[in-house]
Amino acid sequence: MRSTPRARPRLLALACAALLLAAAACGKEGTPPPKGPDQGELPTYEVNAAADVPDSPTWRNAKERGRLVVGTKADQPYVAQQDPATGYYSGFDVEIAKMIAADLGFGVDRIEFKTITSANRETALQNGQVDYYAGTYTINDNRKKSVGFAGPYYMAGQSLLVRADEKDINGPQDLNGKKVCSVAGSTPYQRLQKDYPKVKLIGYDSYSVCVDNLISFQVDAVSTDDTILMGYAAKVPDQLKLAGQPFSQEPYGIGVPRGDRAFRLALDDAIARHEANGDWKRAYDATLGLSGVPAPAPPPIDRY
Ligand code: GLU
């Protein structure tokens, strides 16, 4: 096939994308392998058989139903990821969800996890599709108009993921005119839109699609919480890296139905108990800690 000199960079990019696709067959795909930590290495949590939260309609419904329904993500390595072969969810946020469930009287065999994307979290909680939501969910005043938040249980920060050989992007100040991918309905997407209007912002439903687009040269960077980006980078460190320093604070909370204060406070108690007894740190070390960052101290819980 002939090509003009002008067409060559594009051909080169296509060839690279094809090579990456071929590499995917050998287990080195753009979207990291959908395998979380082995179930056996994870901590287990003692189920409180005497749990009772009589003032919480959410808890009473779950008790009657015989299981808890918990919303989370399915494509965020080390944070919240579903193994398509087994259906199991794993990651730090999944562990947080499990330790809370144990205090509410539900063992892992009585939790039904549901994948809910960033843009659909408030609606899922408002419609009663899930009892609570654990998945890189930033607490903020705007969201508090529609849902309640237990926690925070972790402090993340917005950051940038670029290709490993990228030299020009070292922070959000370098993004003018660049194509940056994030997820619609997320706080990082909203921040870029508002504070960095010269960015060519592209929104998808999930971050793994953004990462695929980064590896195949469709975008120049992916922006969201450092926790999420660290997981992708740790899976393919020869292809991806984080750039610059975090430029926001993203306190992670457990989303709950807004009116159910008793439920929210029971969740706050559960988080505090598991932070104090070492479960929080054990869970971190077995999940997010695998991406190479030692466990920070959890932020203070805000009981409102
Ligand atoms: N923590 C941010 C948010 O809640 C970004 C991560 C996500 O989309 O889940 O919007």
Query: Whose alpha carbon is nearest atom 6 of ligand 1?
Result: 136
How many folded domains does the chain comprise?
2
Burial pattern 194-219, b for ≥16 Cβ within 10 A else e, equals eebeebebbbbebbbbbbbbbbbbeb
> What is the mean pLDDT, run by run of 10 residues, along the chain of 304 residues?
40 40 37 49 93 98 98 96 95 98 98 98 98 98 98 98 98 98 97 98 97 98 97 94 98 98 98 97 94 92 97
My answer on whether 50 and 141 are in the same domain is: yes
My answer on whether 63 and 176 are in the same domain is: no
Query: Whose alpha carbon is nearest atom 9 of ligand 1?
Result: 136
Residue 298, domain member (yes or no): no
* Interatomic CA distance for residues 196 and 190, integer angstroms: 10
- Could you tell me the distance, in angstroms and rounded to a whole number, from the CA of residue 222 to the centre of ligand 1? 13
Pick the atom of ligand 1 nearest to 188's CA: 5
My answer on whether 44 and 145 are in the same domain is: yes
My answer on whether 186 and 104 are in the same domain is: no
Residue 5, domain member (yes or no): no
Give the model's pLDDT for residue 19.
40
- Could you tell me the distance, in angstroms and rounded to a whole number, from the CA of residue 185 to the centre of ligand 1? 8
Give the model's pLDDT for residue 44.
94
Pick the atom of ligand 1 nearest to 250's CA: 1
Give the model's pLDDT for residue 41.
75
* Interatomic CA distance for residues 107 and 98, integer angstroms: 8
Pocket test of ligand 1: the residue of 78, 92, 153, 228 to mutate, having most ligand atoms within 8 Å of its CB, is: 228
Pick the atom of ligand 1 nearest to 189's CA: 10
The token pair at 302 is 């805000």
Residue 299, domain member (yes or no): no
My answer on whether 149 and 162 are in the same domain is: no
Pick the atom of ligand 1 nearest to 136's CA: 9
My answer on whether 113 and 167 are in the same domain is: no
- Could you tell me the distance, in angstroms and rounded to a whole number, from the CA of residue 26 to the centre of ligand 1? 31
Give the model's pLDDT for residue 38.
55
Q: Which parts of 146-300 are beta strand (E)?
A: 147-156, 158-163, 179-183, 200-204, 221-225, 240-243, 250-257
Pick the atom of ligand 1 nearest to 252's CA: 1
- Could you tell me the distance, in angstroms and rounded to a whole number, from the CA of residue 187 to the centre of ligand 1? 6
Ligand 1: residues whose CB is within 6 Å?
Answer: 118, 135-138, 183, 186-188, 224-225, 250
My answer on whether 124 and 272 are in the same domain is: yes
My answer on whether 152 and 71 are in the same domain is: yes
Domain boundary among 211, 228, 243: 243
Q: pTM above 0.85?
A: yes
My answer on whether 225 and 143 are in the same domain is: no
Pick the atom of ligand 1 nearest to 187's CA: 10
Residues 6 or more apart in contact with residue 102 via CB below 8 angstroms: 45, 46, 47, 48, 270
Count of alpha carbons within 13 angstroms of residue 59, beta-carbon side: 21
Query: Whose alpha carbon is nearest atom 10 of ligand 1?
Result: 186
- Could you tell me the distance, in angstroms and rounded to a whole number, from the CA of residue 224 to the centre of ligand 1? 7
Give the model's pLDDT for residue 42.
85
- Could you tell me the distance, in angstroms and rounded to a whole number, from the CA of residue 289 to the centre of ligand 1? 19
> CATH code at 81?
3.40.190.10
Pick the atom of ligand 1 nearest to 137's CA: 4
My answer on whether 166 and 271 are in the same domain is: no
- Could you tell me the distance, in angstroms and rounded to a whole number, from the CA of residue 135 to the centre of ligand 1? 8
- Could you tell me the distance, in angstroms and rounded to a whole number, from the CA of residue 132 to the centre of ligand 1? 16
Query: Whose alpha carbon is nearest atom 5 of ligand 1?
Result: 186
Crossing angle between the packed helical segments 226-235 and 207-215, to the nearest 10 degrees? 50
Q: Which parts of the chain are beta strand (E)?
A: 68-72, 75-76, 80-82, 89-90, 111-115, 132-133, 147-156, 158-163, 179-183, 200-204, 221-225, 240-243, 250-257
Q: Is 135 helix (H, G, I), strand (E, B) or coil?
A: coil
My answer on whether 133 and 281 are in the same domain is: yes
Residue 233, domain member (yes or no): yes
Give the model's pLDDT for residue 37.
52
Q: Phi and psi dihedrals of 280, rounded to 5? A: -55, -50
pLDDT in tens, 257-282: 999 999 999 999 999 999 999 999 99
- Could you tell me the distance, in angstroms and rounded to a whole number, from the CA of residue 10 to the centre of ligand 1? 33
**DSSP letters for 4-48:** -GGGHHHHHHHHHHHHHHHHHTTT--SSPPS--S-GGGS------
Residue 19, domain member (yes or no): no
Q: Which domain holds residue 84?
A: 39-156+250-291
